[in-house]
C-alpha cells in the first residue's frame, strides 16, 4: 500500500493508476518508489511509480492510462532521456507523476550484478539495489517483485563493499588523469564548465565510497548530503562542510577548488585507513 503519511486524495490517485497499469498484460509488477515510499515526501515531491514489464508497453496504452486517470496539463509520454518512462502533470491535482518503466529481467540482472557478481561502477553502484529494497509493492500478482525484494534484503556483501572502494578510490586522486588532476587543469585554464563537470564526477565516486564503507546501498542522487549525514554511522571529519566548501569554490573561487578538494580527499584517506582500507 502507499505510504500512510500521504494525503487521502494522493493515495486514491495512486490506487487508480495502479489499477490501470495492472490491466496491461505486459505489466509484471507496480511499485511506489522515491520519497513517497521512503516516507520523506514533501510538497515538491513527485509521485514515483516503478512499472516492471515483460515486454514493451505500447505508447498508445500508456497515453490511454494517463487519459483514463484524469488527463494531463502537460505530458512527456514515452520519453527515453533518463531511461524509459512517462511523466505528466495531472490535470485535476497538479501532481507530477513519474512512471519509470523497467524490463523485469533487466532489473533482476542489475540486482545480481551487485549482490552476486559484486561488480562496481564509478558512482551509484548500488542505487538500483536501494530502489528495490525501499519500494512499496502496489501490484504483484505472481509474487515476482516480492521474490526480488527478498533477494535484495540480504546483508551487504563484503566483497562488493571492497570492490566499490577499490574501483572508485584511484579515480579520485590516484591516477594520472584522476578527477583531482582534471580539476587542477581546468582551474588553470579557467575552464569552469569542465571544472564543475569533474567535481560532479569526483563527488559521485566519493559518495559511492562513503555508502559502501558504511555497508549501505546508495540512496540515489537526491538529498545525498543530508542522507549521508543521517544514515552513515561513520564519516570523514567535517565531511559535510568540506563538500559544501568544494561546491561553493567551484562557482565562486575556482582557483581555490583544488586545495579544497585536497582537504576533502585527505580526510577521506585518513578515514578509510581507520576503516581498515
Q: What single string gives the DSSP state of each residue in 220-260?
A: -STTHHHHHHHH-S---TTHHHHHHHHHHHHHH-HHHHHHH
In a shared domain, residues 142 and 224? no
- Judgement on whether residues 111 and 165 belong to the same structural domain of the protein: no
Residues in the chain where the model's pLDDT stays below 50? 1-4
Smallest Cα–Cα separation from 92: which of 5, 16, 3, 2?
16
Domain that holds residue 226: 158-274
* pLDDT for the residue numbered 7: 81
57 and 141 in a single domain? The answer is yes
Residue after which a domain boundary falls, among 152, 168, 200: 152
103: domain CATH number is 3.30.460.10
Instruction: Please state, in angstroms and rounded to a whole number, the distance separating the CA atoms of residues 187 and 255.
Output: 6
Contact (Cβ atoms closer than 8 angstroms) between residue 199 and residue 250: yes
Q: Match 513517497 to its residue by C-alpha cell.
A: 36
Query: Of 152, 186, 208, at which residue does a domain stop?
Result: 152
State the pLDDT at residue 2: 42
Cβ atoms within 10 Å of 8's Cβ, excluding its own: 7
- Please indicate, yes or no, whether residues 82 and 143 belong to a single structural domain of this protein: yes
Cell of residue 83, nine digits: 531511461
DSSP category for residue 104: H
Distances (CA, A) of 193 to 76, 187, 254: 29, 10, 11
How many distinct structural domains can be found in the chain?
2
- Compute CA distances 122 → 126, 216, 234, 260, whole Å: 11, 16, 22, 22
- Encode 125-156: b = buried (16+ Cβ within 10 Å), e = exposed: bbbbbbbbbbbbbbbbeeebbeebbebbeeeb
| Residue 2, domain member (yes or no) | no
How far is the CA of 184 from the CAs of 94, 175, 198, 233, 259, in angstroms?
Answer: 45, 13, 10, 32, 9
Q: Indicate if 41 and 130 belong to the same structural domain.
A: yes
Q: Out of 96, 131, 152, pick the residue that ends a domain.
A: 152
pLDDT of residue 266: 98
Q: Are residues 141 and 125 in the same domain?
A: yes
166 and 132 part of one domain: no
Other C-beta atoms closer than 10 Å to the C-beta of 15 total: 12
The answer as to whether 182 is a domain residue is yes
Answer yes or no: do 167 and 265 share one domain: yes
Judgement on whether residues 173 and 257 belong to the same structural domain of the protein: yes
Residue 261 forms part of a structural domain: yes
Instruction: Report pLDDT for 111.
Output: 98
Residue-wise pLDDT tens digits, 32-56 = 998 777 665 555 578 999 999 999 9
Amino acid at each position: 500500500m502507499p505510504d500512510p503519511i500521504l494525503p487521502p486524495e494522493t493515495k486514491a490517485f495512486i490506487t487508480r493508476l495502479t489499477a490501470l497499469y495492472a490491466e496491461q498484460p505486459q505489466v509484471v509488477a507496480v511499485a511506489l518508489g522515491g520519497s513517497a515510499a521512503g516516507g520523506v515526501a514533501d510538497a515538491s515531491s513527485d509521485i514515483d511509480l516503478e512499472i516492471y514489464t515483460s515486454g514493451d508497453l505500447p505508447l498508445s496504452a500508456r497515453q490511454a492510462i494517463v487519459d483514463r486517470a484524469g488527463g494531463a496539463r502537460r505530458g512527456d509520454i514515452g520519453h527515453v532521456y533518463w531511461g524509459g518512462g512517462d511523466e505528466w502533470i495531472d490535470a485535476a491535482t497538479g501532481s507530477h507523476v513519474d512512471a519509470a518503466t523497467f524490463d523485469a529481467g533487466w532489473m533482476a540482472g542489475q540486482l545480481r550484478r551487485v549482490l552476486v557478481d559484486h561488480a562496481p561502477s564509478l558512482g551509484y553502484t548500488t542505487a538500483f539495489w536501494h530502489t528495490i529494497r525501499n519500494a512499496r509493492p502496489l501490484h504483484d500478482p505472481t509474487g515476482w517483485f516480492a521474490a526480488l525484494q527478498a533477494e535484495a534484503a540480504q546483508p551487504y556483501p563484503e566483497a562488493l563493499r571492497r570492490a566499490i572502494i577499490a574501483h572508485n578510490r584511484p579515480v579520485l586522486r590516484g591516477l594520472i588523469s584522476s578527477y583531482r588532476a582534471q580539476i587542477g587543469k581546468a582551474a588553470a585554464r579557467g575552464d569552469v564548465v569542465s571544472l564543475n563537470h569533474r567535481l560532479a564526477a569526483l563527488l559521485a565516486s566519493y559518495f559511492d565510497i562513503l555508502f559502501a564503507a558504511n555497508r549501505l546501498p546508495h540512496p540515489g542522487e537526491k538529498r545525498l548530503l543530508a542522507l549521508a549525514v543521517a544514515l552513515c554511522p561513520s564519516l570523514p571529519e567535517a565531511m559535510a562542510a568540506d563538500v559544501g566548501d568544494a561546491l561553493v569554490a567551484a562557482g565562486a573561487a575556482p582557483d581555490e577548488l583544488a586545495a579544497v578538494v585536497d582537504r576533502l580527499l585527505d580526510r577521506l584517506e585518513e578515514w578509510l585507513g581507520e576503516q581498515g582500507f
